[in-house]
Amino acid sequence: MKRWGDLSQEAADHLAAGSVLDHAEMAVVVTDRFSNLLYWNPFAEKLFGRQGKSPSRDTSVLSLGIMEKDHPLAIELAKHVLKGGVWEGTFDVRRGDGTIVYVRAQAVPLRPTSGAVTGIVIMAREALRSNEREKDRFGLLERIGERLAGSLYVEETLKRVAEMLVPQFADHCFIELMEGDRLVRRVSQHVQGWTPPSGTWKPVGAEIRYPSGHYADTALRRQETILVEDFATNRSPSPHDGSARLCGEIGMTSAIVAPLLVRGETLGLMYLGLSNLTDRRSPHYDAFDRDFVGAIATRVALAIDNALLFEEERHTAESFQKYLLPRALPQLDGLDIAVRYYPAAPLASHGQGIQTQVGGDWYDVIPLSAGRVGIVIGDVEGRGAKAAAIMGQLRAALRAFAQDDKSPADILARLDEWTRIIATPEQDDNGTDVSVPPIVTCQYLVYDAWSRQLSFANAGHAAPLLLVDGQCVELDIEEVGQPLGVRAKGLHADLVYKEETRTLPPGAALLLYTDGLVDRRPGRDGRMPTEAETLGVLCEKLAKMSGAEVERIADAATVAVPGEIDDDMAILVVRSSDVDLDVESRTFPAQPIMVGEARRMAAEAFASWNVPEERAELACLLVSEVVTNVVLHAATAGVPRRELVVEGPPLPFEESWDMPGFEDEVIGDKEFTLRLRRGEEAVWVEVFDQDLRLPRIRSAGENDEGGRGLYLVDQLARRWGSRPTREGKAVWFEIPTRGR
């Protein structure tokens, strides 16, 4: 006879360790000292979504699906347990099907009979699915709050909410937000592989209207979380017949509806439901679940409110900067242009928020005289609205300075002075002015499409990239001046910024950029790539596209360097024409008889260019007026500037001015040059002479014989002006060949 407690052989076999673990409703995972998996039981396969897979010794515990942000927590677990301690905590786990669950884990040392710690035993279960739900609640709320705080965008926040709740807490999740007086569905998330058929539950973007007496309507009116514990006993009216029919087909069992309340305002509703689409231990919510979902809804409402406020501020800041940058680029002859501007993504974890959205990067394209164009790119130090406001002032000032047609070095010198004018006034305790100008890097270029000549000056900015013949190299710059705003006192700006000139090859492209293009945030390995590395990657990829359209080059440049941008980024791409533009030029003696010759030359050129007869006659009339003005004033012009080259040893001062023939060389004959240019929609006329005096319009009396030439030019030309040159000046005007 067997005594009480004696076991049969079959029962004894079932009590073997392996058999017990196979039936345990708790995940058991065993690792060695290096966190390599040695064993997991069947429930662990189910919990972590790794069904049908067997652990191997070279598989890390991280392969169970522990999310990347919790990897440091897993490392902490291993260190603590291998020292003989016991660890307990919560992990976010992404299963093999992509769903996310919260897992509560306890880890203890694995000790054989020798007593030494040889590995780790981890026991895990789905959070809130045991008798310790109250203990899990606070930890889970903290984890949910952390996940929600990681996003500053409404859509991303809503997506994270749905990922957290389905399938761990619900089979179905709806989130509806108020838009004015309308309730609009923004999220419709369901268990993996199932979507509601058309004509049943309303889709995302639809307006939702719950009938009076519906539990969701009650939650809105009372502003409290409502629990429907069992649909079998629920008598609430359905929104429409299709919804009621679907609820019966999928076997809806229970639901919780929580209002999203923040600062006394109702943002919307969060709806969670259970159905027979999944096999759960308990298919019904209870009062504990209602209270817990209500707590989650409070955090969700705060996260959505923060995201809405952030997006409003972001939209305001980006609109501010958008209107500070050029609204549209001008159509220019012999030049293709593409631009891009991207604000940096926010660094919410660093507490910078909106300050990372906009900055002081800017670009501009400025039409100048006779078809020439000014090109600028710059970067104000710092971020936020202040940097953008300074950028707007500098851009406006540079556009104004550029109209004087001075050299790029002169323009940067004036802009450097302007940074001191706009500096915020500050004084120390003694009343001494300690205003600090903004620090700005800037590069200003002037391009002439007819000669392909590029003149530029640089104020501490990165050199443009030259793309030609399958190569991408930095443009050779000999003199890089100091950034604007940092020039030492007593050192004139003219000595800091130097003008250089290059000739672009036909069809060559220039890529100008701010440092946001090559500055990247650290990668997952925490390593920050050097500027040389990122520039090398950029050049390697752009070289393959040297012959592509400028829009494609701009798009390729924005994604060429891997990683998330750490600063706002401006890009400007220009390409020179691969064909020569039409131009005629001739030099004449400054004599009255040459007025007719100049007009004849212009008429012949306009005829060969097929300029409309009416426009050609108008242009020829203005050529006569400008050339006549040059001839009449040639006799009173100052001595032309010519370079004096004296060979041999230096002469005494008195003797140098008595050199035979020197006087004849200096005085010489006055002359002028007429240059005509044809563009796509206009012709430009330029008259060069050696007179340093710039012309101005004067009021002629009724009986005056002259004084009306420039007045006619001003009235009949679309634009006109004058600019100083190395030898004297140039007077120019523009006549459109199309339209008015």
Q: pLDDT band at residue 608, thresholds of 50, 70 and 90?
A: very high
3-class state of residue 341 by DSSP: strand
Fold for domain 18-127? Beta-Lactamase (3.30.450)
pLDDT in tens, 240-281: 888 989 999 999 999 999 999 998 889 999 999 999 998 887
CATH number of the 583-635+669-736 domain: 3.30.565.10
pLDDT at 423 over 50: yes
Q: How would you label 467-504 residue by residue, b for 16+ Cβ within 10 Å and e otherwise?
A: bbeeebeebebeebbbbbbbbeeeeebeebbbbbebeb
pLDDT at 1 over 60: no
CA distance 387 to 438: 9
Question: Quick one: pLDDT at residue 476?
Answer: 92
Q: pLDDT band at residue 617, thresholds of 50, 70 and 90?
A: very high
Q: pLDDT band at residue 667, thresholds of 50, 70 and 90?
A: very low
pLDDT in tens, 333-348: 999 999 998 876 655 4
- Give the CATH superfamily of 326-427+435-486+494-576: PPM-type phosphatase domain (3.60.40.10)
Answer whether 0.75 is exceeded by the pTM: no
pLDDT at 578 over 80: yes
Q: pLDDT band at residue 85, thresholds of 50, 70 and 90?
A: confident
Question: Quick one: pLDDT at residue 217?
Answer: 93
CA distance 31 to 35: 5
- Give the amino acid at 170: A
Question: Quick one: pLDDT at residue 661?
Answer: 45
Question: Quick one: pLDDT at residue 57?
Answer: 63
Supply the mean pLDDT for the chain: 82
Question: Quick one: pLDDT at residue 7?
Answer: 47
CA distance 362 to 516: 12
Q: Where are the domains positioned within the chain?
A: 18-127, 133-313, 326-427+435-486+494-576, 583-635+669-736
**Residue ranges with strand state E in 505-616:** 509-513, 569-576, 583-589
pLDDT in tens, 618-652: 999 999 999 988 888 765 555 444 444 445 455 45
Of the candidates 401, 334, 403, the residue with the CA atom closest to the CA atom of residue 369: 403
pLDDT in tens, 464-497: 999 999 999 999 999 898 999 887 666 666 678 9
Name which of 308-317, 384-393, 489-498 the model is least confident about: 489-498
pLDDT in tens, 122-164: 988 887 655 555 555 666 677 777 778 777 788 888 888 888 8
CA distance 565 to 557: 12
Q: Which CATH code, of 3.30.450.40, 3.40.50.1240, 3.40.50.720, 1.10.10.10, is assigned to 133-313?
A: 3.30.450.40
Is there a shared CATH topology between the 133-313 domain and the 583-635+669-736 domain? no
